[in-house]
Structure 1
Amino acid sequence: MRFLFVHQRFPGQFKHIACALADDPRHEVVAVGDVANIKASLTLHPRVTVYGYASPKAGEQQTHVYLREYENHVRRGQQLLRACLRLKEQGFVPDVVAVHPGWGEGLFLGEIFPTARHIHYCEYYYHAEGADLGFDPEFPAGIDSRLHVRLRNATQLLGLSECAAGVSPTRWQRSLYPAEFQSKIRVLHEGIDTSQAKPDPRAFLEVQGKVFRAGDQVITYVARNLEPYRGFHRFVRALPELQARCPTAQFVVVGGDEVSYGARLPAGQSYRETYVAELGERVDWSRVHFLGRLPYRQYLKVLQLSSAHIYLTYPFVLSWSMLEAMACGCLVIGSATPPVQEVITHGENGLLVDFFDTRQLADQVAEVLADPLAFSRLRSRAREYIEQHYDLRTHGIPAWIELLTQHQRQDQGMPRVAVNTGAG
């Protein structure tokens, strides 16, 4: 079979399944992404051929502010269309197309490959209330934001009306989609590689001249970027009490200074610098180690030597890092928000605290550090839970292969239409 994976930052969520399919010589695997983002993926697998499309121009300033994002999606979809037309001219016509449609790449794929079975990765459906928007009173959502977010789903809705099936990584993420489409969406996580993300009692890491080892009092916090959506402000504001309650503990923080989600600060400013300045001398910063982003193996060492791992998030997309932390045997102290509650049961395989309650967070961390043996059962159950429900090789890859290789019904193809690429 022939497979086409499309993601502006390929491989994204398709890394493991693309490689697994490419391991089978019966399959041909091709991927397409934004040329500005795919350099690292060019050597992902010797049998995965990766092509790039030119980064689209930004939308026009005179476009209504609510529509600029959609215009950007159309422009990206058009750039992808041109790249895929070239693929088709070279003789590549996929049997299956798997695409993350969130940035517009799925808009026109059905027109280019009408006989393929199209699978959309349904990561997140935005709501004006009841999810991330307006969750944090520190960042209130005005009427403008509420109206704007209603249009953010337009691109996905067009895709959902035409794709053969969708995939969401968690039940909660699927539940955000309109009820009339949920039967079309399968809950299927891409999987956690528990052969790499695993406990290591011998783990150690040199951090700014100090060597930390498993068994030391090390409190960890990880996010792709240090920002409010992942509760960074709540974590930092808990530091004075955490340090008072845990006087010998060190704090290791992994994450970049960019913004992945939510409001951006003025150019040149970061949330890390903002909240560090806010807390000032109330925190002993010599005990707080900001490591930025780390290579994967070093990042895993941080998790493996963690005494207590703090994971806070808005009601939003669940991070791989939380699942990897559990696979490493971390004692995760997570926010009692829906994506976390789907995985962590308080007192069974982790601990939950109110996202906004810094005192409760400090109390829970202090309790864990005071008697680590009392919580060892939660660590082992955390890993067992990931092995049973999210393991890459026993759950993720087999389920994805079953989904992508099932026989295609002839009547699922969309009618052919003429394509005019126009001027982007």
Structure 2
Amino acid sequence: MLEKLLLLPLGNFIKNKSIQNFLFLAIIQSSNVLISIISMPLLIQNIGVDQFGLVNLALSVIVLMNVMVVYGYNLSAPREVAINQNDKTALSHVVSNVFSAKVLLASIATLIILIAVFGLNLFKGYQIILVFSILMLFSEATLPLWFFQGMEKMKLVSIANIFSKLLFLMGIVLFIHSPEQSRWVNFMMGFFGLSINLSLLIYIHFFLGIKFFKPDWIAIRKSLQENFLLFLSSASSYISVNGGLIILSFFAAAETLGMYSLAERVIMVLRMFPALIIQAIYPNAAKLYTNDEKRFFKFLRNVYFRVLALGAFISGITFFSAPFIIKVLSRSDLPDSIIYLQILAFVPFLACLNIANVVMMLVADLKNLLFRASWMMCLYMIVVATILTSLFGGIGVSLAIISTEVIVFLICMVLLYRNNRKFIHGFYT
């Protein structure tokens, strides 16, 4: 059965492996979004809005810790795999060291959570849910997406991801029927993800001939040092975009968290749009920038204004259909969720504003500017969100998220102007 799936003739229609990689990454993201949308009404109906909020709050903490588990390897490891594709011994050492490093980081993250819960008595109200969610850290640590991305063989991991999410959805239907069972929601997501990932590791070992060696701690230490800035940048970006729910948890009750998390989940799905656009146009933009800057600026402007129009359309549709969206997902009338969603509806459009700046930084390899912009954005978001949330609750954190998208656009503009003015003149004038 597995071999038949791998022999599906998609590659005959799309020969370019980079395009295949992008399409399979899009399939993975789309399946995650689809399962998330399907599971929301089921969870709200079975465990209630307040427990749904706590489950999502625990999930936000775990995803934040997963940034530490990933530690930039999602960007650096595919390159190492691609370089050593034809050298099985070197490739085996890369695979062994990356998995060892990620499992070590997952263990450290687990220890931090356990100390915070049982030693410092933090995360009150959802401690048990959070502890049961720890398995998701090891699911992330064993996810071999970076390996298949470097090998340019994304079909299998895409199929495995979809299968994992379907198992999770089946688990919700079969086993989650009351608020007391909310602790098992994230546990099942981690359990099924870990099970599928271990199956992929078996495939990597026996069918691709990759050996698992003892970890080279010197090489691991070196890679951790090299990925440190990538880790900090990823952490700051995550906090800026997804930290609203965590900040709101300090000021609001579980029911408010549930109503806000419902609106936030919808918006985070839509916010993937500008990120996918950047991934899609980056290879061609980089090629044009190297060969012909005038064509690069023309290409980027054409894409930019079309994407802005589409982003405005998405935001407009979301704003006006907010009551319908909340009604469908929650199967009930939640006025506060509608208000949150209508405020956050502007996020997709505002996130599109910064696409050109990010692409220009990437093609010129100005990663230091991206790092500075991400941390300035993070600091702004934490301060403003804390103040506004303490004053206005869920509406305050929604306004903070909106303003953060505007501020990061302005920050990137200023950084580009100060460090590489030809981009500002070439694109905006």
Per the TM superposition, whether the score is higher than 0.5 is no
Which has the larger share of helix?
A: 2
TM-score of the superposed pair, with normalisation by structure 2: 0.31
TM-score of the superposed pair, with normalisation by structure 1: 0.31
RCO greater where, 1 or 2, for CA within 8 Å and sep 6 or more? 2
